[in-house]
């Protein structure tokens, strides 16, 4: 086999590999070149996060506006501290924003839903969302239900 | 009883011995970076182990992608979750099947050929005549083949992944009628570039290392008889396949294990 044919084939082979990688990165992983967006951190305390994970969605009105960065437990108060990264500059969430832990569908993943408040002041980087509602845990609900039946 | 223990000891020492020789061979061959004339040798080898493996890779990738899409679709459609076909397919292919199947096919298609070629060179004493002429067979024969494998397998894996996803699109979207919007956006939502694509490529690079290493060593170490060669070729395929699958489990554990 002549060296020329071999070199052309190998060049085409490497090129095909590079094109495949670009396709995988852009079309399959959905990387946007303009994805370098600013974000700031907001924390919230929940009495129960029940299956919320790091990197879960943070959404407002069903639109994703951030991700959960980390979840820690506060041993002293027995609640969970969730740190979220909110896209954009500080100043797009009011101080009386409330946070709820919700579930996508019946079996879906847990995510945090934010509802806007009416306050004039806004949350800065590192501020805390005070008004929170933890996840609904089915076992607790059933337990409450049974005790109530027992009482009546 | 003592005989059994002794047998075990002999087995272990033989194994340790050949592992040592394989490591020394690999280290000696890879010690020098290839010079300019070495690049030509590598290009020729990429042609033989990489380019000529394209057909089998593309055909298998397309079938695997098509079959996965078909299975995912029929099962997920029962829950009305056809949109998840895309992300399921992409994750399975990028994380596991792409690197593993490519490496297995590479071991069968190119690894065995490498062993046979080097084994025959040794049997016909081409390697010793090279040494006699003052050409180091490690640099001239072994190193270019290892480099070619290391370069080719990740490229083949990338092509495999792309073709498999395309096969999934053909079956899932064009034939069965999953919604293309949900298919692609679900895939882009669920697939992370580092977590899935890059880690898959790291796997394939490790597999490339294992396969070429086993293939080259088995050829170089084969007894110079027809029987020895056939044994060595078989061993290349068997050992590299087992190594690929075992290492894949370990790497998955390290990459994705939740601990």
Answer whether B93 touches A (CB < 8 Å): no
Answer whether B256 touches A (CB < 8 Å): no
Q: Among candidates B34, B95, B49, which has minimal Cα distance to B236?
A: B49
pLDDT bracket for residue B243 (50, 70, 90): very high
Q: From the CB of residue B211, how many other CB atoms can be counted at a distance below 10 Å?
A: 29
**Across B162-180, average pLDDT:** 90
Q: Helix or strand or coil: residue A67?
A: strand
Alpha-carbon distance A7 to nearest alpha carbon in chain B (angstroms): 7
Beta bridge partners of residue A111, listed in sequence order: A102
**Across B126-154, average pLDDT:** 89
d(C-alpha A75, C-alpha A93), whole Å: 28
Q: From the CB of residue A59, how many other CB atoms can be counted at a distance below 10 Å?
A: 16
pLDDT in tens, B64-122: 999 999 999 999 888 877 778 888 899 999 999 999 999 999 999 999 999 999 999 98
d(C-alpha B24, C-alpha B45), whole Å: 22
Joined tokens for residue B68: 């996965």
**Across B197-214, average pLDDT:** 94
What pLDDT is stored for residue B34 in this prediction? Answer: 66
Q: Cβ separation of A24 and B161 shorter than 8 Å?
A: yes
What pLDDT is stored for residue B193 in this prediction? Answer: 84
- Chain B residue numbers with beta carbons less than 8 Å from the beta carbon of A12 are 51
- Chain A residue numbers with beta carbons less than 8 Å from the beta carbon of B158 are 17, 20-21, 24
d(C-alpha B150, C-alpha B202), whole Å: 11
Q: Cβ separation of B158 and A9 shorter than 8 Å?
A: no
Domain boundaries, chain B: 40-253
Alpha-carbon distance B152 to nearest alpha carbon in chain A (angstroms): 8
What pLDDT is stored for residue B20 in this prediction? Answer: 92
Q: Is B145 exposed, middle or buried (0-12, 13-18, 19+ CB in 10 A)?
A: buried
How confident is the prediction for chain B on average, in pLDDT?
90
Least CB–CB distance from A29: residue in B54, B151, B188: B188
pLDDT in tens, A58-107: 888 888 888 888 888 888 888 889 998 888 888 788 888 888 888 876 66
d(C-alpha B254, C-alpha B16), whole Å: 26
Q: Is A82 exposed, middle or buried (0-12, 13-18, 19+ CB in 10 A)?
A: buried
What pLDDT is stored for residue B148 in this prediction? Answer: 92
Q: Cβ separation of A17 and B94 shorter than 8 Å?
A: no
Q: Helix or strand or coil: residue B150?
A: helix
Asked whether the predicted pLDDT for residue A22 surpasses 70, the reply is: yes
How confident is the prediction for chain A on average, in pLDDT?
83
Answer whether A63 touches B (CB < 8 Å): no
Least CB–CB distance from B43: residue in A7, A16, A17: A7
d(C-alpha A133, C-alpha A71), whole Å: 15
d(C-alpha B220, C-alpha A127), whole Å: 65
Q: Cβ separation of A9 and B94 shorter than 8 Å?
A: no
Asked whether the predicted pLDDT for residue A108 surpasses 70, the reply is: no
Q: Which residue of A has its CA nearest to B185?
A: A30
What pLDDT is stored for residue A34 in this prediction? Answer: 46
Residues 6+ apart with CB under 8 A from A56: A67, A68, A109, A110, A111, A112
pLDDT bracket for residue A33 (50, 70, 90): very low
**Across B221-247, average pLDDT:** 93
Q: Which residue of A has its CA nearest to B156?
A: A17
Dihedral of CA atoms B231, B236, B237, B241 in degrees, nearest 10, equals 140
Q: Cβ separation of A9 and B51 shorter than 8 Å?
A: yes
pLDDT bracket for residue B63 (50, 70, 90): very high
Answer whether A29 touches B (CB < 8 Å): yes
- Between residues A54 and B106, which one has the greater pLDDT? B106
Joined tokens for residue B171: 């079956």
Answer whether B255 touches A (CB < 8 Å): no
**Across A116-127, average pLDDT:** 84
- Between residues A34 and B79, which one has the greater pLDDT? B79
pLDDT bracket for residue B237 (50, 70, 90): very high
**Across B175-193, average pLDDT:** 82
pLDDT bracket for residue B216 (50, 70, 90): very high
- Chain B residue numbers with beta carbons less than 8 Å from the beta carbon of A20 are 155, 158-159, 161-162
d(C-alpha B84, C-alpha A109), whole Å: 14
- Chain B residue numbers with beta carbons less than 8 Å from the beta carbon of A16 are 54, 155, 159
pLDDT in tens, A38-48: 788 888 998 88
Mutation target among A2, A5, A8, A10 for the B interface, most CBs of B within 10 A: A10
What pLDDT is stored for residue A119 in this prediction? Answer: 83
What are the Cα distances from residue A79, in Å, to A56, A82, B231?
A: 19, 10, 63
What pLDDT is stored for residue B171 in this prediction? Answer: 92
pLDDT bracket for residue B47 (50, 70, 90): very high
Alpha-carbon distance B101 to nearest alpha carbon in chain A (angstroms): 17
């Amino acid at each position: 086999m002549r060296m020329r044919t071999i070199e052309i084939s190998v060049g085409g082979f490497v090129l095909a590999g590079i094109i495949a990688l670009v396709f995988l990165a852009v079309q399959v992983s959905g990387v946007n070149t303009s994805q370098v967006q600013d974000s700031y951190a907001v924390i919230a305390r929940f009495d129960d996060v029940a299956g919320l994970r790091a990197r879960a969605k943070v959404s407002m009105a069903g639109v994703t506006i951030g991700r959960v960065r980390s979840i820690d437990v506060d041993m002293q108060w027995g609640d969970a501290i969730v740190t979220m990264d909110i896209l954009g500059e500080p100043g797009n969430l009011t101080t009386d924003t409330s946070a709820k832990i919700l579930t996508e569908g019946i079996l879906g993943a847990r995510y945090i839903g934010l509802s806007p408040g009416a306050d004039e002041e806004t949350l800065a980087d590192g501020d805390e969302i005070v008004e929170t509602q933890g996840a609904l845990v089915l076992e607790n609900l059933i337990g409450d239900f049974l005790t109530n039946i027992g009482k009546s | 009883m003592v005989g059994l223990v002794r047998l075990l000891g002999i087995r272990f020492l033989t194994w340790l011995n050949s592992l040592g020789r394989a490591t020394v061979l690999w280290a000696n061959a890879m010690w020098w970076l290839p010079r300019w004339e070495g690049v030509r040798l590598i290009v020729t080898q990429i042609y033989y182990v990489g380019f000529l493996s394209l057909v089998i890779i593309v055909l298998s990738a397309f079938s695997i992608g098509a079959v996965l899409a078909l299975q995912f679709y029929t099962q997920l459609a029962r829950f009305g979750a056809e949109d998840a076909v895309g992300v399921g397919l992409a994750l399975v292919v990028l994380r596991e099947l792409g690197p593993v199947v490519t490496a297995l096919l590479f071991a069968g298609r190119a690894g065995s050929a490498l062993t046979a070629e080097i084994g025959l060179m040794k049997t016909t004493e081409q390697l010793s005549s090279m040494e006699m002429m003052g050409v180091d067979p490690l640099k001239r024969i072994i190193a270019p083949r290892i480099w070619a494998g290391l370069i080719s397998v990740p490229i083949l894996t990338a092509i495999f992944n792309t073709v498999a996803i395309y096969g999934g699109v053909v079956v899932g979207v064009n034939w069965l009628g999953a919604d293309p919007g949900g298919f692609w956006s679900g895939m882009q939502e669920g697939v992370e570039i580092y977590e899935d694509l890059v880690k898959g490529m790291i796997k394939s690079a490790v597999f490339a290392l294992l396969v070429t290493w086993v293939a080259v060593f088995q050829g170089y170490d084969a007894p110079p008889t027809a029987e020895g060669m056939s044994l060595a070729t078989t061993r290349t395929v068997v050992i590299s396949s087992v190594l690929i699958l075992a290492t894949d489990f370990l790497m998955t554990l390290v990459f994705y294990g939740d601990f």
